[in-house]
Amino acid sequence: MCGRFALSMPSDAMAQLFKAAPANDLPILPNYNICPTTQIHVIYRESEQDKGQRRLVPMRWGFVPHWYKTPSDGPLLINARAETLAEKPAFREACRARRCLIPADGFYEWFRPEGGEKLPWYIQPSGEGPMVFAGIWQTWEQNSERLTTCAMVTTEATGRMAEIHHRIPVILQPHDWGKWLGEEGHGAARLMQPASDDSLKFHRVGKAVNSNRASGPELIEEIEE
């Protein structure tokens, strides 16, 4: 799974990169310890009826199914498994009609050596540009409360990543952004593959990131193993 990530790109640069109209209430950046249930930057595509424009907006990280009576009425759904995305009642409609992009600099994952404590790693792109996760989104409403929420799509990890954790977010390359957003017809399901080792780089980081209150760029600095 992915439970923490970092993002430092300014919102206006993101809007330009993704060719998306930005909202006025985007979260403050940089943030090197983005945690579940907080508002995150998300790019989605409006319906054709609404001109089909890309929008850069805040969404709560933690998908809330429409049948929840409160946002905490069931499990916290920050990740959605690619293998069952089209079948799970919570996700299947969003999988077809409400896909989104979630930009990041990189993400954290924890590995527990045999007999030892969990140690945090930072995973980021090996090349230039942001890391972009495949996501799904949904607006939840009950009485007077309304939340727009999202989850990251994950898949089985391979290669070096599998040595750290068995799951990895689905990472989309720029030429796949439009297809995932539904701008280029069918075929989004074929994008739900693990990233190759040569597209990622990995390093150990300090245990300060274990706290959801920690902040600052020092969280992503490499330490000696």
> Does the structure show a pLDDT above 70 at 36?
yes
* E strand or H helix at 145: strand 145-156
CA distance 102 to 151: 9
Confidence of residue 51 (pLDDT cuts 50, 70, 90): confident
Across the range 119-130, mean pLDDT stands at: 94
Q: Which residue has the higher pLDDT, 225 or 112?
A: 112
Q: Which of 163, 151, 179 is nearest to 84 (CA)?
A: 151
Query: Is the separation of the CB atoms in 6 and 105 below 8 Å?
Result: yes
CATH architecture type of domain 4-220: Alpha-Beta Complex (3.90)
Task: Give the catalytic positions in this structure.
Answer: 2, 109
CA distance 214 to 147: 26
The owner of tokens 């054709």 is 48
Give the per-residue pLDDT at 143: 86
Domain ranges across the chain? 4-220
Average pLDDT, the chain: 94
Tell me the per-residue pLDDT of 176-213, one tens digit each, with 9 for 90 and over: 999 999 998 888 999 999 999 999 999 999 999 999 99
Give the per-residue pLDDT at 225: 67
The owner of tokens 């007999």 is 115
Q: Can the peptide bond before residue 30 be classed as cis, meaning omega within 30 degrees of 0?
A: yes
CA distance 163 to 143: 46
